[in-house]
Structure 1
């Protein structure tokens, strides 16, 4: 079988920030690279929150999530890696020579010397509102994500949830909506402290510890009122709404990956400080991995990508340099700089 396939040095599974930056850095290290993404486009979990403002990437001013995805896509293709979309890798088989044959859910095969798993939290699904009949409103004004802010302009918006995305949405919508109310079952919110402080200092109405208890509709097509109930006292309130946004977290499914023999927990796999899994030649990066000094930010994901790729390079060639040269001294960028009209003297 392997004789019929093209051999790659590195195959990256997952097309989120970790996977895209790994593809870029793999090009810096002059490795033959393939990136495989289960969905039909790159972006990973960032595709869920296209309008979310990203503040914490070094050197990048506050930018919409979809803009950062576009920049990462462009960067990922700098050295022309092979990019495969719409294939979920379900199986791996190590060959006698140490290489791997990867198989997708639809039967496609891929041959590689090393694998870097950048699959985030696996196949993600939004946790739905557990109220009977709620699904009927999903085509009108019950939302599980915010794709654009403009449809909420001048609306009375109720947000159910207390994670970082719920807080971010409350802050973003406060600038366009007529009113924003956020209900959360606990007193403590998730997310960055500054964002929580900003939300509480704004016009956003914060109701804790409350949950959405009932949905009310006049015409049967849209939610017009929501009953919220106090988790401690049982007291209820009726709130007029034009839109309900539910952010109760994500459900993760790693599927057949759990049968690979990786040392996995519920949400991630443990790796060494060199981003090595317990399987030889298979490394990890991004939200999928955990280690002692792990930083769960996009900026930390980029560091994971570099560490994992350097480990893959040394796995292939133990005599190789431990890291890539910086871009100003890297031969891979000479032709790229000429194409940009940049002189070697600058």
Structure 2
């Protein structure tokens, strides 16, 4: 190679929970680590629901999505990995010495011994409302995610959609909105049963099977009422609104990574119990993977991250320990504990 590239032990592609925890654990294993995220911010899919309360991460009491992101980023930076934002990795080239060159869509190159794919479902795009002219309201009161609940306090809110996020947003907004209407094109909701029951038992008006037919604006800049139609009969109603929230799901795009030769289906890559892909030196973790004991929770993502990184460590150093010492016995934390004012008992 003529250009001056710095060689890393591990390059993690993806800056969601899987990638962030992998970066932390890679530091525990004393590996030179780089994390590359296609977006301009870290957090992955959690960025879509920063105000959603997350209950199922071990050892954490209910935590807002944005707070969990903050904590994951802080933890990921413990051992000072190199973090690169805004680069979408597209190509993978094996070098004669077995190392790998990764190239971004804009031409930046990254040199590494191993790769850990923590790309979730690829580049996420919110499914937009398929109504002509709807996009002009995105700068005013048409929303595709709920960033701050307070924005909707005292307002007449309409939510279109029936998945987890739509139901969660309905339950979070119902106590603070002046009124809340949920419109869904099917009678069945995709959210967790307990949350759906809570929504239906609240003061929220739930209309099924209906869809948003058209948006209306007296001033041309903000939606003031919405026409909805019954999916079966076509019967229409008009609803006065101050804000419209659309949750019609996500579109996933893996881009050129699907051309790398990975053993994968439409949405996941098949990996071994050690989180190895079929490409030597390439491992994977998180929502992107499928294996016999896969747990599709954030908590399961952390286990994937550990197993993928341990496999990368042994790939680089075959004689290395299979796992890292736990933090209470890991020498890398001694100075960090002192900085936190922790006095350790070394008598054991």
Shorter-chain TM band: over 0.9
**Structure 2 residues without counterparts, runs of 5 or longer:** none
Residue 202 of structure 1 and its aligned partner are, at CA, apart by 1.5
- 1:87-122 CA-to-partner distances (Å, cap 9, x unmatched) read 221111111222111111222221111100111111
RMSD: 1.6
Structure 2 match to 1:279: 279
Quick check: 1:23–1:35 contact (8 Å CA) kept in 2? yes
* Paired position in structure 2 for 1:332: 332
Correspondence list, 1:308-327, <5 A: 308-327=308-327
The answer on whether the counterparts of 1:160 and 1:212 sit within 8 Å (CA) in structure 2 is: yes
Q: 1:293 to 1:191 in 2, by over 3 A?
A: farther
Is 1:2–1:101's contact at 8 Å kept on the other side of the alignment? Answer: no
SS in 2 for 1:78: helix
Contiguous gaps of at least 5 residues in structure 1:
none
Quote the offset at 1:262 in angstroms. 1.2
Give the Cα–Cα distance (whole angstroms) in 1 for the partners of residues 60 and 175 of structure 2: 23
Query: Which position in structure 1 is the counterpart of 2:245?
Result: 245
Matches within 5 A, 1:156-167: 156-167=156-167
Alpha-carbon distance change, 191 to 318 in structure 1, aligned in 2, over 3 angstroms? farther
Task: Give the equivalent residue in structure 2 for 1:4.
Answer: 4
What is the rounded CA distance, in whole Å, between the counterparts of 2:141 and 2:296 in structure 1?
A: 32
- Matches of residues 17-166 of structure 1 in structure 2 within 5 Å? 17-166=17-166
Aligned-pair CA distance for 1:240 = 1.5
Report if the CA contact (8 A) 1:2-1:111 is conserved.
no
TM-score (norm 1): 0.95
Q: CA 1:147–1:340 in 2, change beyond 3 Å: closer, same or farther?
A: same
2:197 paired residue number: 197
Relative to structure 2, which stretch is displaced further, 47-56 or 303-312? Answer: 47-56
Deviations 1:176-228 (A, max 9, x none): 11111111112222232322222122222211121111222223222222122
**Matches of 1:318 and 1:340 in 2, distance apart?**
34
Secondary structure class of the residue paired with 1:304: helix
- TM-score, scaled to structure 2: 0.95
Aligned 1:261-276 pairs, distance under 5 A? 261-276=261-276
- In the aligned structure 1, how far is the partner of 2:141 from the partner of 2:311? 48
Cα deviation digits, residues 233-290 of structure 1 (max 9, x gap):
3332222111111010111111111221112322222222221111111011111112
The CA distance in 1 between the partners of 2:200 and 2:322, in whole Å, is: 47
Q: Which moved more, 1:192-201 or 1:270-279?
A: 192-201
Secondary structure at 1:83 match in 2: strand
Mapped contact 1:212–1:226 kept (Cα < 8 A): yes
In structure 1, what is the equivalent of residue 342 of structure 2?
342
Structure 1 residues 59-112: Cα deviation after superposition (integer angstroms, max 9, x where no partner)? 111122111111111100111111112222111111122211111122222111
Question: Using the alignment, how far apart are the partners of 1:50 and 1:125 within structure 2?
Answer: 16
Taking the aligned partners of 1:3 and 1:242, their CA distance within structure 2 comes to 56
Bigger mean CA deviation after superposition, 189-198 or 140-149: 189-198
Q: Distance in 2 between matches of 1:46 and 1:31?
A: 27
